[in-house]
């Protein structure tokens, strides 16, 4: 795999693509050296976090050359590999939209650890990763972030093998696309991890928050997505919802072209929150 092929498949914004390519070609020896220890560090305190935004993005892009081989060795198709890698360009393009500069944030660097560990896969509309069930409650994390029933925790104990599901910004949530993603994911994980018996799909997301879902149209793709899950816990933490729905906007008034969901978020922030859902396999 070549740098040129990787970059062409990522579909960066033109300015971002040019900046990354120029940075790597100009400082390839340095980028290669930084890449060796980029993801070393404890508690997500990776060495790459100490670098400037463009260097972070250039190193991550450079590392994808090696990661392609590691994904491919698992028997994963190019379609899934490059769809997975496009998370890098998605976040880089959002960073460019926010700052006007080429690069990625520190949070992006931390998130991309999943790609570096070859443990996340974009299959159709959604991202999936092999995971172990975790309950974000006082028993597990030391604070009452959410509450779960005793019966629920007994039916799917902490540590049970599950498939974690993530929804990217702009994901195609058409019901047919979503259903196809889940069906393909079942087949994919049975083939890639044949010795593991996954119990359920797991999703922690603002899209599953019951008070918000009550306000959405019955035909809403978000509501139809959430209806696939059994909601087992929730809390009023609206940080993820606010960022996802409103982006990086700091405006205090609703923009004229706001979507119905954005209007809801502006006018009723109390309807936003975070929830946990499972879908038995």
199-217 mean pLDDT? 97
Q: In whole angstroms, what is the distance from residue 41 CA to residue 16 CA?
A: 28
Q: In whole angstroms, what is the distance from residue 52 CA to residue 148 CA?
A: 41
Q: In whole angstroms, what is the distance from residue 240 CA to residue 188 CA?
A: 28
Q: What are phi and psi of 71, to 5 degrees?
A: -65, -45
Which residues, other chains included, contact 179 with Cβ-Cβ below 8 Å and sequence gap of 6+?
none
Q: In whole angstroms, what is the distance from residue 41 CA to residue 189 CA?
A: 29
Instruction: Tell me the per-residue pLDDT of 97-154, one tens digit each, with 9 for 90 and over.
Output: 999 999 999 999 999 999 999 999 999 999 999 999 999 999 999 999 999 999 999 9
Place of tokens 């400037």: 52
pLDDT tops 60 at residue 250: no
pLDDT, position 252: 67
pLDDT, position 47: 97
Place of tokens 């970059």: 7
Q: In whole angstroms, what is the distance from residue 38 CA to residue 50 CA?
A: 10
Entry pTM = 0.93
Q: How confident is the model at residue 38 (pLDDT cuts 50, 70, 90)?
A: very high
188 and 123 in contact (C-beta within 8 Å)? Answer: yes
Tokens describing residue 76? 């994963």
Closest C-alpha to 59, from 87, 92, 98, 33: 33
Q: How confident is the model at residue 249 (pLDDT cuts 50, 70, 90)?
A: low
∠ at Cα 272 (136, 160), nearest 5°? 25
Q: In whole angstroms, what is the distance from residue 120 CA to residue 71 CA?
A: 10
Closest C-alpha to 279, from 162, 191, 134, 194: 162
pLDDT tops 90 at residue 39: yes
Sequence ranges of the domains in the chain: 3-117, 122-280
Q: What is the mean pLDDT of the chain?
A: 95
CATH entry 3.40.630.120 includes domain 122-280: yes
């Amino acid at each position: 795999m070549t740098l040129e092929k990787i970059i062409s498949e990522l579909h960066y914004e033109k300015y971002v693509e040019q900046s990354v390519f120029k940075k790597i070609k100009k400082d390839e020896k340095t980028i290669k050296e930084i890449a060796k220890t980029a993801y070393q560090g404890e508690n997500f305190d990776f060495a790459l976090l100490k670098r400037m935004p463009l260097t972070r993005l250039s190193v991550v892009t450079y590392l994808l050359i090696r990661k392609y081989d590691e994904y491919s060795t698992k028997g994963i198709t190019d379609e899934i590999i490059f769809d997975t890698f496009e998370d890098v360009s998605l976040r880089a393009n959002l960073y460019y939209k926010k700052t006007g500069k080429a690069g990625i944030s520190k949070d992006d660097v931390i998130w991309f650890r999943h790609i570096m560990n070859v443990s996340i896969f974009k299959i159709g509309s959604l991202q999936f990763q092999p995971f172990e069930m975790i309950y974000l409650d006082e028993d597990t994390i030391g604070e009452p972030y959410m509450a779960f029933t005793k019966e629920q925790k007994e039916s799917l104990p902490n540590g049970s093998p599950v498939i974690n599901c993530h929804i990217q910004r702009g994901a195609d949530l058409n019901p047919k696309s979503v259903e196809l993603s889940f069906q393909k994911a079942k087949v994919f994980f049975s083939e890639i991890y044949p010795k593991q018996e996954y119990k359920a799909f797991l999703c922690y997301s603002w899209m599953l928050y019951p008070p918000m879902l009550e306000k959405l149209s019955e035909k809403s793709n978000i509501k139809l997505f959430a209806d696939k899950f059994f909601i087992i816990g929730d809390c009023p933490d609206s940080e993820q919802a606010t960022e996802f729905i409103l982006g990086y906007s700091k405006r205090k008034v609703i923009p004229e072209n706001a979507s119905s969901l954005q209007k809801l978020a502006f006018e009723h922030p109390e309807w936003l929150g975070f929830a946990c859902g499972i879908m038995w396999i």
